[in-house]
Amino acid sequence: MNHKPRILVVDDEPQITRVLRTSLSTHGYEVRTAADGISALETFSDWHPDLVVTDLVMPNMDGTELCRRLRAVSQVPVIVLSVKGEEKTKVEALDLGADDFVTKPFGIDELIARIRASLRRAATPVSEVGTTVLEIGDFRVDLESRQVSVRGREIHLTPKEFDLLTYFMKHAGKVITHRTLLGAIWGGDYAEQTEYLRVFIGNLRKKIETDSSGPHYIVTEPWVGYRFNPGN
Amino acid sequence: MTAISFSGRTGYFIAVISMAAATAALALLRLHINPTTVALILLLVVLFLATMWGSGPALLAAVLGVLSFNFFFLPPYHTFTIADPQNWVALAAFLLIAVTAGQLSARAKRRAEEAEAGRVEIDRLYKELRDAFERASHVEALKHSEKLKSALLDAVTHNIRTPLTSIKASVTTLLDDLGQRISLDNESRRDMLDVINEECDRLNRFVEAMIELARIEAGEMRLRRGWSTVDEIVTTALERAQPLTRRHRVEVQIEKDLMIRVDPSAVVEVIYTLLDNATKYSAPGTTILVRAKRHGEGTIQLSVEDEGSGIPRQSRELVFDKFYRANAITDPQSQRPPGIGMGLAIAKGIVEAHGGRIWIEDGSAGNGTRVVCDLPVGDEDETTKKSEPSAKRLGHES
């Protein structure tokens, strides 16, 4: 990225956009703001930001609809600003393609960390050595021979655990909702069967985590889903 | 089942006893009564048993009656022999009438019992239905109150979290600056501190409004009533609202010598709220008209009118609800104006605490919004007593 990363901040509260504009600019980003989804889409098509930070509840066009419209035209990382009690809308936005969320009120460092992670992920997607090997952080998966190694040590996974891990690796760092994960691994009919996930994630954790009671790689996002941190 | 068979046996037992008792009584009086009377009395016993115990005991009573009639009351007595052929006919007639009447009475009894059972069943169904309706409306009321609670909670959450978010983001940015992780220029630092200052005021306004509303709702609003001129009250409100109304044209029409016994600061608050709303919901450059006039006996009418887009009739009651924001319905394309959606709820509480009422009408030109409140002037005696010196004072001032 030759230019300063561009961030579009969308919120109908002028005080929030005012603070974020000053703060993110000082942190080395180029910032523009919009007060609703419609003007955000206009700025997006004119200015081509590298990342969008959006509130969920806004007049004219809300954050969920903005996510849907953005995903129709772009893979730009989207971070959703939500408040507790908006879980349903937050999950909906994540299902529609938002990458991450930050709960209001947030410290600026938390938002900056999420922005950095999302930008890094967008810039360097999971490396596919040849076409059959996935490699990211502590994980290496040979898709053809179905060999999996964590921190250089080979582990044995069942077919479903294997599918889960490769899906996580392809979407590392991103918050994946229960529904998305169930749909991707078991198919759309199982989208509500979260107990499947609990069992399989539990088993997968036992095989990949150093301490499965305090997981480091597969982190639970309460009431939303999971986030996969591949490690270094 | 045991109860039924017991009750069945009881019927037959009573049939035997009754017939025996009747026969004994009639036998004692045999010399004084003729066989026709005996037959009728025995028939009466059969009918009584049919009505009380049904067809079985009635049939048994009929047979016993025939035997008793023949044995004790038809010559030759104390034999089952019948000498006179006419008595054969009488006996046969007695048997036929006793059986038929017994069966008819029993059937009538059954019908009555069925009708009673039907009534009981209808009563039971009615009660069940009524209970079901009561349960359904209770559930509906609960759902409604849950919805209301959750809407209130959302509004409170929004009004508290939004300023907290700006404050926290500003403070953490300033901390990063202090820790030399970033370097803010002075203007940015000032901007962050301004945001913190403004958002603290916003939080404080919200908390104060919540407390005031809670007081009004609990009926604990303490009015410090005193005599004031309406002119004074309106002028104070206009002065306070001046920073808000700067971009509008404000026209004031107040009738002369209007005196009112109210809590002046509370009524100033009402007019301020109405002015604040008028500026938010009408375009800059348009006119806001503030009027005060006598309205019938002992009432003063205040109104604030704007030239905005107006409020649809169906929403005119709702705007006085806590946290209701007019633009959500009137103009979904508009931006949400700043505010906490409690102003009109508080204004209504203040007006009603004074014994007045507040409502919304079309503006006088057919568009815009006109918020009107009727306030009682106050105690009559005191009006006369107090208005004179005040009027003099006004006259002197003018």
Task: State the pLDDT at residue B331.
Answer: 41
Length of chain A measured in residues: 232
Instruction: Provide the ipTM.
Output: 0.76
| pLDDT (average), residues A39-61 | 92
Mean pLDDT of A127-152: 85
State how far the Cα of B42 lies from the Cα of B54, in Å rounded to an integer: 17
pTM over 0.80: no
Across the interface, do A26 and B184 touch by the CB < 8 Å criterion? yes
Residues of chain A with C-beta less than 8 angstroms from the C-beta of B169: 16, 19-20, 23, 105-108, 111
Please spell the DSSP secondary structure of B194-211, one letter per residue. Answer: HHHHHHHHHHHHHHHHHH
Q: Pick B176's closest partner by Cβ from A15, A85, A109.
A: A109
- Vertex B179: Cα angle to B175 and B182 (nearest 5): 85
Top CATH class, B161-217: mainly alpha
How far away is chain A from the Cα of B284, in angstroms, using its nearest Cα?
A: 20
A-chain residues near B172 (CB < 8 A): 107-109
- With tokens 């989207």, the residue in question is A78
**Integer-rounded Cα radius of gyration of chain B:** 46
Contact A228, A181 (CB under 8 A): no
What does the pLDDT read at residue A18? 94
Give the C-alpha separation, B362 to B312, whole Å.
9
Asked whether the beta carbons of residue A107 and residue B172 sit closer than 8 angstroms, the reply is yes
pLDDT averaged over 10-residue windows placed end to end, chain B, 398 residues: 56 89 87 84 86 83 86 82 77 81 82 90 90 83 71 76 93 92 90 93 87 81 87 92 90 92 90 92 91 91 92 83 56 50 85 92 85 86 41 33
Nearest CA in chain B to A21: B188
Check whether A217 has a pLDDT greater than 90. Answer: yes
DSSP string, A144-200: TTTEEEETTEEE---HHHHHHHHHHHHTTTSEEEHHHHHHHHT-GGGTT-HHHHHHH
The three-class DSSP label of residue B368 is: coil
Distance of CA A163 to the CA centre of its chain: 18
**Whether A196 contacts A190, CB under 8 Å:** yes
Q: Which helix or strand (DSSP H or E) is residue B394 part of?
A: helix B380-397
Distance from CA of A105 to the nearest CA of B (A): 4
Structure tokens at B292: 């005060």
DSSP B180: T
Cα nearest neighbour of A11 on chain B: B162
CB A126 within 8 A of CB A134: yes
Q: In the prediction, which pLDDT does B389 show? A: 37
pLDDT tens-digit series, residues A181-197: 998 888 877 777 788 88
CB contact under 8 A, A105 and B177: no
SS3 A129: strand
For B256, the token pair is 């002369």
Distance of residue B314 Cα from the nearest chain A Cα, in angstroms: 21
Q: What pLDDT does residue B384 have?
A: 40
For β-strands B357-362 and B369-376, DSSP reports them as: antiparallel
Lowest average pLDDT, out of A206-210, A221-225, B368-372, goes to: A221-225
For chain A, the structural domain boundaries read 6-123, 127-228
> Where does CATH 3.30.565.10 sit in chain B?
226-397
Please provide the size of chain B in residues.
398
Q: Do A104 and B191 touch (CB under 8 A)?
A: no
Per-residue confidence band for A34, with pLDDT thresholds at 50, 70 and 90: very high
Task: Calculate how close chain B gets to A120, using CA atoms only, in Å.
Answer: 20
Contacts of A16 in chain B (CB under 8 A): 162, 165-166, 169
Per the CB < 8 A criterion, the answer to whether A169 and A155 are in contact is no
Residue contact B333–A13, C-beta within 8 A: no
CA-based nearest residue to A225, from A169, A185, A177, A179: A177
* DSSP letters for B208-244: HHHHHHHHHHTT------EEEEHHHHHHHHHHHHHHH
CATH assignment, B226-397:
3.30.565.10
Record: fold of A6-123: Rossmann fold (3.40.50)
Instruction: Take residue B375 and report the two structure tokens written for it.
Output: 């306030």
Calpha distance B374→B355 (Å, rounded)? 9
**Closest residue, chain B, to A102 (C-alpha):** B165
- The answer to whether B162 contacts A20, with C-beta atoms less than 8 Å apart, is no
What is the average pLDDT value for chain A, to the nearest integer?
A: 89
Residues of chain B with CATH 1.10.287.130: 161-217
Q: Which of A9, A16, A19 to probe the B interface (max B CBs under 10 A)?
A: A19
Which CATH code is given to the segment(s) A127-228?
Answer: 1.10.10.10
**Burial (CB count within 10 angstroms: exposed 0-12, middle 13-18, buried 19+), residue A100:** buried
Amino acid at B147: K
Neighbours of B295 (CB within 10 A): 15
* CB atoms B173 and A23 under 8 Å: yes
Q: What are A's interface residues with B at a Cβ cutoff of 8 A?
A: 12-13, 15-16, 18-20, 22-23, 26-27, 35-36, 57, 59-60, 81, 83-85, 104-109, 111
Nearest chain B CA: its distance from A28 CA (Å): 9
Residue of B149, B154, B165 for testing the chain A interface, max A β-carbons within 10 Å: B165
Determine whether the interchain pair A85/B154 forms a contact, defined as Cβ–Cβ distance below 8 Å: yes
Q: Say which residue the tokens 């250089």 belong to.
A: A152
Contacts of B310-314 with CB under 8 Å at 24 or more apart are B310/B362, B310/B363, B310/B367, B310/B368, B310/B369, B311/B360, B311/B369
Both tokens assigned to A231: 């490690």
Task: Locate the chain A residue with the closest alpha carbon to B184.
Answer: A26
